[in-house]
């Protein structure tokens, strides 16, 4: 049985959704990741950074949200959350997952936690620059979603990309889940609403205090 260590609203949400969709037995083990709490030494043996998520599968331990999500989606095709290796849309899937982790998530962290990226007591230059870049990134994502007729990055096929996008956006109160705090990115909003068409995915989103459809 899988054991997923995570925290509600954190980066464990995406792999949690994939596990739920797979139908495989698993245990979700909550981890307090607030800065004020000292990490459990036993947990640090699993994840030296003390962050979430961490997936334990038998004697193997895996870190990193995107890697866990993609691994589980490929290992359990019955979850229907990733295209097969020979699927014509596989390249798009890989492209957007990498874009979300390397570009969107990095910029989001710069904006939200700018003090960790500069020794200057005034962090506004870092956060303001990241906010400007984040706007550009969201325009790229919105255009990418518009490419297909369906609401997802792969058209009518929900994948881990869509879940991961909304997990990261949910970390920024200025944007909100599904970009609900603005009307600048209508395709992003449609994408978020469409996640709730899958009961298994919707279950985990709601457990993580995501609001229902915003449109």
Average pLDDT over residues 101-124: 79
Q: Which of 176, 18, 26, 21 is nearest to 97 (CA)?
A: 18
118 has a pLDDT exceeding 70:
no
Give the N- to C-terminal CA distance of the chain in Å, as an integer: 38
DSSP collapsed to 3 states, 45-71:
HHCCCCCCCEEEECCEEEECHHHHHHH
Percent of the chain with pLDDT over 90: 75
Give the pLDDT of residue 15. Answer: 99
For 41-58, how does the pLDDT look when each residue is reduced to its tens digit (9 = 90+)? 999 999 999 999 999 999
CATH 1.20.1050.10 occupies which residues in the chain?
90-198
Looking at domain 90-198, which CATH architecture does it have? Up-down Bundle (1.20)
CATH 3.40.30.10 occupies which residues in the chain?
2-79
Extract the tokens encoding 187. 């395709």
User: Which numeric CATH code is attached to 2-79?
Assistant: 3.40.30.10
The answer to whether 110 and 127 have CB atoms below 8 angstroms apart is yes
DSSP 185: -
For 119-176, how does the pLDDT look when each residue is reduced to its tens digit (9 = 90+)? 667 677 778 888 899 999 999 999 999 999 899 999 999 999 999 999 999 998 787 6
Give the pLDDT of residue 105. Answer: 94
65 has a pLDDT exceeding 90:
yes
Q: How high is the mean pLDDT of the chain?
A: 92
- What is the band of 24 on the pLDDT scale with cuts at 50, 70, 90? very high
Give the pLDDT of residue 102. Answer: 96
Give the pLDDT of residue 103. Answer: 97
């Amino acid at each position: 049985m899988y054991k997923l260590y995570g925290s509600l609203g954190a980066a464990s949400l995406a792999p949690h959704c994939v596990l739920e969709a797979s139908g495989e037995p698993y245990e979700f083990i909550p981890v307090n990741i607030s800065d004020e709490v000292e990490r459990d030494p036993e947990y640090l043996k699993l994840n030296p950074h003390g962050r979430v998520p961490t997936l334990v599968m038998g004697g193997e331990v895996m870190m990193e949200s995107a890697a866990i999500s993609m691994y589980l989606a490929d290992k359990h095709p019955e979850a229907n959350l990733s295209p097969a290796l020979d699927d014509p849309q596989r390249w798009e899937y890989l492209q957007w997952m990498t874009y979300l982790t390397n570009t969107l998530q990095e910029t989001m962290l710069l904006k939200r936690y700018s003090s960790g990226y500069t020794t200057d007591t005034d962090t506004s230059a870092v956060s303001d620059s990241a906010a400007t870049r984040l706007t550009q990134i969201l325009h790229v994502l919105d255009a990418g979603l518009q490419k297909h007729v369906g609401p997802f990055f792969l058209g009518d096929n929900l994948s881990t990309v869509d879940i991961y996008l909304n997990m990261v956006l949910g970390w920024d109160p200025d944007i909100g889940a599904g970009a609900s705090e603005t009307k600048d990115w209508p395709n992003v909003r449609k994408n978020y609403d469409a996640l709730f068409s899958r009961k298994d995915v919707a279950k985990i989103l709601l457990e993580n205090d995501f609001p229902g459809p915003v449109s």
